[in-house]
Chains A and B, each alone.
Chain A
């Protein structure tokens, strides 16, 4: 016999913060069943208080305006509407309501075995925040929506230290980290400790090892020189140039000036806002290592962007790039050198930091070369298949030396069937992303990353380096 329980809000924290919220948007339709771990619904929240000294979550132009809390089911059941609560429209976007303990926001129908649970014991909090590229990039219509240069989600569990995993890959990685449902729900699901996941998209900057190194080594004077260069590029654009190109230049500059591997993070906990970070584990992709890179002719910094973005630029921006940047061939040995330097840098002040790298899928497409004699040497700069094989071998070669963990996407794709799990040759389907996510979680657990160490997880299936 099912029983209806009114779902009540618990306090978000015990501190003196004033927290406002929007109405809740329900992910589960009323009357439709949900299971433990499912997203029930979410609302926007705003922390109010003195901004001074309280960090990014309080700053309007940083993270304050894209802060959400989701409710994750602890039990099975279904939601039942409360007729007296009418939301929708801006009620579900603007933070018009005070977060009040014991507010009833919906009814939950649960099975008998869960009927004894208190009304505030039916769900876990799951926090989400995005840092907008620009205040103009306003989109609060869904879970984690908007153009963000950094998105993150966290959950509070047992233990004080929050373990953070940072995704810094190409297009293959964000959906693994953020999950099909968005909001990092699948990655953080079931964690016993306090955990956080962060996603930095490859829009427009691709975080190759060289880019990460340069971000970490860049001085203030060098940043200012780069800023001057981009400002000049925009200023010299002739009338009629596409303003979209200015956005491209500004977004490039913004990404070049940041150092995501050094970021600290403000998180809302039971005790108030705490600072954590930098990331305990960083997940990279070997596919970020392009064979040709743009390098500034005078200042020497690299600008790694996908070719299709460069090809889409208007003539003025393209001419500016041509005048100021040169293409530099980048060998596998160059990448090896970068990886060794990068891992040293990333662990300099954080010796326990884990670095995971998704390798390349080798069995893509239909390639059946009988003779390589008619291809230009060195083959890693003329043939994609040779380059990805050499990159994968290079990762194996340096795994023991650098302590990196290889997430063997190649083995997983071969097991699942490449044409099925990567239909267009680049982008994985949900099954492969689920497998890669599981593998990443297994590696994080095996390497005892705080919050992610779970005894229930199996050993990694594909990890190649010594644990």
Chain B
């Protein structure tokens, strides 16, 4: 089965995120707890008002799967619901026309390393 990894909805006012880093490459096997990627939300709000609600998150896998295709790129923006990656429950499963569902994952707000 194909597993679609998408940008989660963080808060109803925060839809745009920036991909800070990827924790996997195509072909990797991920297990529950494995780091998939890190992203920051709220950057679009920074242009709109003071005290922007900027928060960094780490997304981890909640199931065993294989990374088949990476859409997300470091430094790029994405919106809630956008596809980040395609995973599969079997390593050699065809990416064409297979049954799919959303990948099971978890996110946690993290403290980013400081500027210097």
Contact = CB atoms under 8 A, between A and B. Distances in A.
A367 B107 CA distance: 5
Contacts of B108: 367, 369, 375, 383-385
B111 A381 contact: yes
Contact of B10 (A307, A365, A383, A384): A365
Interface stretch (A225-233, A339-347, A417-425): A417-425
B60 interface: yes
B69 interface: no
Interface string B44-61: 011000011111001010
Nearest to A367: B108
Contacts of B34: 374
B21 interface: no
A426 interface: yes
Given A310-B115, A327-B114, A384-B55, A369 B10 contact: no
Interface string A408-433: 00000000000100111111000000
A374 B12 CA distance: 28
A373 B33 contact: yes
A374 B23 CA distance: 12
B55 A370 contact: no
A366 B33 CA distance: 16
A425 B14 contact: yes
A17 to B, nearest CB: 38
A419 B52 contact: no
B115 A385 contact: no
Given A365-B10, A366-B9, A427 B109 contact: no
A368 B13 CA distance: 20
Interface in B88-110: 106-110
Contacts of B4: none
A308 B54 contact: yes
Contacts of A292: 111, 114
B109 A385 contact: yes
A383 B53 contact: no
Residues of B in contact with A, size category: 20 to 34
Mostly, the A contact residues are loop
B42 A322 contact: no
Given A370-B32, A370-B106, A424 B13 contact: yes
A374 B33 contact: yes
A327 B112 CA distance: 13
A88 B1 CA distance: 71
A381 B109 CA distance: 11
Interface in B33-85: 33-35, 42, 45-46, 51-55, 58, 60, 62
A308 to B, nearest CB: 6
B11 A424 contact: yes
Interface string A288-318: 0001100000000000001110110000001
A427 B53 contact: yes
A318 B114 CA distance: 13
Contacts of A102: none
A322 B116 contact: yes
A456 interface: no
B35 A171 contact: no
B13 to A, nearest CB: 5
B32 A371 contact: yes
B14 A424 contact: yes
Contacts of A367: 106-109
B111 A171 contact: no
A366 B17 CA distance: 14
Interface in A342-375: 364-371, 373-375
Interface in B1-33: 8-14, 32-33
Interface in A255-277: none
B115 A374 contact: no
A423 B116 CA distance: 32
Contacts of B9: 366
A286 to B, nearest CB: 16
Contacts of B114: 292, 327
A308 B12 CA distance: 22
A300 B51 CA distance: 27
Nearest to A202: B51
A381 to B, nearest CB: 6
Given A291-B111, A322-B116, A365-B107, 8 more contacts: A366-B10, A369-B108, A374-B35, A374-B60, A375-B58, A384-B55, A419-B11, A425-B10
23 contacts: A308-B51, A308-B52, A308-B54, A310-B115, A327-B114, A364-B11, A364-B109, A366-B9, A366-B10, A368-B62, A371-B60, A375-B108, A381-B111, A382-B110, A383-B108, A383-B110, A383-B111, A385-B109, A419-B12, A424-B11, A424-B45, A425-B53, A427-B51
Interface of A: 171, 291-292, 306-308, 310-311, 318, 322, 327, 364-371, 373-375, 381-385, 387, 419, 422-427
